[in-house]
Structure 1
C-alpha cells in the first residue's frame, strides 16, 4: 500500500515490499552484514575521533590514552580495529559469492560494488596509519611512494599527499580527515549500490533474476538477516578474548622515521595484493599488477551474457581462484627468500590466469548457448 510520504515509500521499497527470490540462502546475508558493520565502524570511529589527536608527536600517546584513561575507550578501540577485519572477512565472502553466482551480469551493481571495495581498502589503509606505530608508519611510506610511478604528475602527487618531502605530522592530519569523511561517502555509494540492485533484482540459487519466483522481502528475509546476531556475538567474544591476535607486534612501538622494521607486513586483508606487488622486481610493473588485481574484475561487466552459464565449471574455477588468493596471502607475509621469491610470481600468474579464464568462460558460454 502506497503512503503519501516519499521517504516512507522509499524505505518500504528497500526493506519491506522489495520482490526477492524464494531461493536466497544464508550466503545472501553477507550484504546485510556489511551494511551493519559499516554503521558499527562509523559509530565506534566517531567515538574514537573525539579523543584522537592527529599530531605526529601525540598520535601514538593519544591511542594509549584512549586505551587506558578514557572510560570504555579500550573497548571502542578493540571493536573498531577488529571490526576492520570483520569488514574484510564479509567483503571477501560477498565478492566470492558474487563470482559463484555470476553477479557481474548485473553491471551497475557489480561496478558500484567494486568501487566500494577500492574505497574501503583506501579507508582501511588510512585508519591503519593513524595509530602512528612502526609498522603503520612504514606501510604509509611504502604505499604512498608507489604513486610516484604515475607518469609526469607522480612525484608531485606524492609530495602533495606527504605535505612535504616525507611522511610527517601533516600527512597524518591529511589521512585523519579523509579517514573521517570517506565513510559518509561510502554510505551514499552503498545506497546507490542498493538502488541498482533493487532496480534489476539480485541473482539467486537459480542463477537468474527474473520475476517468476519472487516473494516480499518482509517478514521472511528479516528473519533470515536476524541470523547475523550470531556472527556479532562470536565477533564480540573473539575481540574480548583475543583482542590483538590479528595485529602485529610492531604496532605497539611508536613510529621511528630513522629505523624501519626488519620485515614490513601489511594487515592480513592486503597480503594477497602485497605478494603480487613484491613478485615483480620492476616498480612500475609491480604497481600496475597491484592495481590490476582488483581492476581486472571491472572487465567482467563489459560482457553482455544473460543466457545459461557453465555453472559447474565456473564453481570449480572460483574455488581454485579462492585457494590461489589464500596462498598469495600466506606468501605476502613470508620473508623475501627462496622458495617464496619463486612461489609469489607463480601464484600471481595463476591468480591473473584464473581471472582471465573466468572471463573467457563467461564470454564463451554466451556463444555456446546462442
Structure 2
C-alpha cells in the first residue's frame, strides 16, 4: 500500500502566537527576538515583516533598517510550548504515528485514516481546521507518499497552504525543482552543486551515484535517491534520539562577540523548549562553528550532571568559546548540539550543576 504522509508546518509560529495573544499586533510586522539596541537576533518574524526581507537569524539592527516600523517582542517559550501541546492533541485524533521535528512541525503517517476518510488530503484539511479551531493558529500541510516530498510540499503554498504531490506527478515536480528547495541542501552545498552545473532536480538526476558520492560523501547516496523520488524512511513515532541540535547560518561574516552571544542565547532557549517537550536532558554539549573560509570547528564538554535549562547551556558556553577563535576570526555559522540524552522529569527540576555565568561575562571569550 502506498504510504500517505502529511507534513504539518505552522505558519510563522512564534510570531503568530504573539499576534493571537495580543490583537494589537495583528497585521503588523512583528519580530520575536532581541531589540536592536541590545544587538539582538531575530528568532522569528511575522509575514508582514518578511515582506521587507526580514528573516530569522538576522541581526535585529539589520532588520530594523529593512523594516523601520517593526515591533520587537521578547520570546515567550511557555506560550509556544502550550500552543504546541494543543496542536499535538489534534494530531493524536487522527494517527498515533507522529514524528515531531520541533515545536511547530511534525510528520504524520495517515495511511489508515486516509482510507477511512477517502484521502490524505481530506485528513490534512481536517487537521488544519481543527488546529485553527483549537489553538486559533494556521498551519500549512504537505501531502505525498514519502517524507522528503511531504516536507517540500508544505512550503509550496504558505501561509495556510495545502499542497499535494501525487506519485504520478512526483517525477515532473522533482525535475523542475530548484536545488535549493531540496531538503538537506544548505547554502554551502547549493553553491558547490551550482559550481558543478547542478541547478535543478533534473541536473541532479543526470549524475550517477558514484559521481555524487565522490563529491558529497555519504550524502551523495541520499541526493541520488531523492532525485528519483525515493525516500523509504518511515514516520517514527517513538524513535530514539541520539542528539538535539540547532544552528544558524549568518547572512555575512560575523566577528561581534555580543551578537554571537545573543545568537547562542536564542538557540539555547529553543533547545530548552525541545528538551522540556520531550522530557529529556543531555550530558554532552557541543559548540559548532564554521569560519568564513568554511573550516569547521567543534568544542565539546561532557558533565556528570545534565544540561536542561538555558542557564545550564549558556553557563558552559564561555568555556567552549574561549577554545575557539570566535570574536577574532569571522564566522558564518554557529550552533549547539546536545547529546548523551537521558530521560528527565521536569517536576524534579534541573539536575545540572554546571556553573551559571551571566551574559555580562562576555569578556571570557
Larger fraction in strand: 2
Structure index of larger Rg: 1
**Shared topology, TM-score over 0.5?**
no
Relative contact order, higher structure (CA 8 A, sep 6+): 1
Bin of the TM-score, shorter chain as denominator length: under 0.3
Q: TM-score normalized by structure 2? A: 0.25
